[in-house]
Copies of this chain bind each other. A is one copy, B any other.
Amino acid sequence: MATMKDVAKLAGVSVATVSSTLSGRSFVSDELKQRVEAAIRELGYAPNAMASGLKRGTSSLIGLIVPDITNPFFTELVHCIQRRAAEAGFVVLLGVSDDQVAREAELIALMRSHRVAGTIVIPCGGEQDCMNLSRLAAGMPLVAADNAPPGMALDTIVLDNRMAATLATSHLLSLGHKIIATIAGPPHRFVSHERFVGFMTVLESKGLSVGADHVKRGDFHVASAREAGLALLQSAPRPTAIFVANNQMLIGTMQAVAEMGLSVPHDVSVIAIDDFPWAAAFTPTLTTVRQPIDALAEAAIERLKLRVGGLQEDPCRIVLAPELVIRQSCRAPLEDA
């Protein structure tokens, strides 16, 4: 593959002149500029980003580490981050941690090795694991989004998970539900915990209690929620509404309802956190709490750019407000059958 030296030789100039022509950092006469450009075209020259990065000590790469790209929430987040990164002139180096803390740590080391300008991570671990992240970053600008507990020595950008749970739960209460169950996420994760606490707090404030039978844990994936849903629907008294901690588990819950020969919202109302593109295409359309994903992406890239620029101030925490999207999957409970 052609190098700058080849271009220089063909154009009859020095490599310094070629470099100046490309970077525009110093003045080159039109005459030479044209000769250089012609040579570049003729040779099909593309500058070597590794050499340039090595010399300049930076790269135009940013790392992006997500637990699982097939979860539509993450898909959308990757989409938004990649778009905004591209607008800012960065290319995204994609890492998938597959929900494994050890893999996440490896990926951070990998990003460091590639001397990315900075990295955005959606942590997959519990609080302790998250607290480790800043140490692993070891100087690389690192911004944590979504599952990031407070107190990390990093810029963090999160949803107001308690408010999201509060919106969902209050909606169910306002429809008249009294027997409400939940399918929560993995207990050690920050987002699960917050959503669960939000849920319980609202109920307690209304003097309602939740039976142990009516609290199930899933792992944020479909299958676990199907099982949890089946168990909930067979418990007595059967809940009239289920608050589900994320979108994937909402699908599992819907499957469970169908398998039991019941229907939403006739027999049971269902609501979840995290909207997704097809929530409006289901029958019934699904009521959810939407996270402002693009705002999350924007804030993450913005903070990262500041840190890449050398900003040294204390870690900041940005908390974004969720929004209730009312569709058809929740309605008033039937009178006691």
The 19 sampled A-B contact pairs (Cβ below 8 Å) are A1-B139, A44-B139, A49-B115, A50-B53, A50-B59, A64-B94, A69-B78, A70-B79, A70-B277, A78-B94, A82-B94, A86-B96, A91-B94, A93-B93, A222-B281, A251-B277, A255-B281, A278-B278, A282-B283
Chain B minimum-CB-distance residue to A253: B281
User: Bound state CA distance, A81 and B53, in angstroms?
Assistant: 27
Within 8 A of B (CB), among A260-277: 277
Residues of B within 8 A of A47 (CB): 113
Known: A79-B96, A92-B94. A114 touches B70 (CB 8 A): no
- A residues sitting closer than 8 Å to B (CB atoms) are 1, 44, 46-51, 53-54, 59, 61, 64, 69-70, 75-76, 78-79, 82-83, 86, 91-96, 109-110, 112-115, 138-139, 222, 251, 254-255, 258, 277-278, 280-283
Give 4 A-B pairs besides A46-B138, A91-B110, A258-B283 with Cβ atoms closer than 8 angstroms.
A46-B113, A47-B113, A48-B113, A83-B96
Residues A46 and B109 in contact, CB atoms below 8 Å apart: yes
Residues B82 and A69 in contact, CB atoms below 8 Å apart: yes
User: Bound state CA distance, A278 and B71, in angstroms?
Assistant: 11
Chain B minimum-CB-distance residue to A95: B91
Residues B50 and A112 in contact, CB atoms below 8 Å apart: no
Residues A48 and B54 in contact, CB atoms below 8 Å apart: yes
Residues of B within 8 A of A69 (CB): 75, 78-79, 82
Residues of B within 8 A of A53 (CB): 50
A93 → B minimal CB distance (Å): 6
User: Bound state CA distance, A114 and B61, in angstroms?
Assistant: 10
A299 → B minimal CB distance (Å): 20
User: Bound state CA distance, A78 and B75, in angstroms?
Assistant: 10
Residues A54 and B46 in contact, CB atoms below 8 Å apart: no
Residues A115 and B50 in contact, CB atoms below 8 Å apart: yes
Residues of B within 8 A of A113 (CB): 46-49
Residues B94 and A114 in contact, CB atoms below 8 Å apart: no
User: Bound state CA distance, A115 and B277, in angstroms?
Assistant: 36
Known: A54-B50, A93-B92, A114-B50. A44 touches B281 (CB 8 A): no
Residues of B within 8 A of A79 (CB): 69-70, 96
A128 → B minimal CB distance (Å): 20
User: Bound state CA distance, A86 and B95, in angstroms?
Assistant: 9
Residues of B within 8 A of A277 (CB): 70, 222, 251
Residues A283 and B283 in contact, CB atoms below 8 Å apart: yes
A207 → B minimal CB distance (Å): 35
Residues of B within 8 A of A1 (CB): 115, 139
A259 → B minimal CB distance (Å): 11
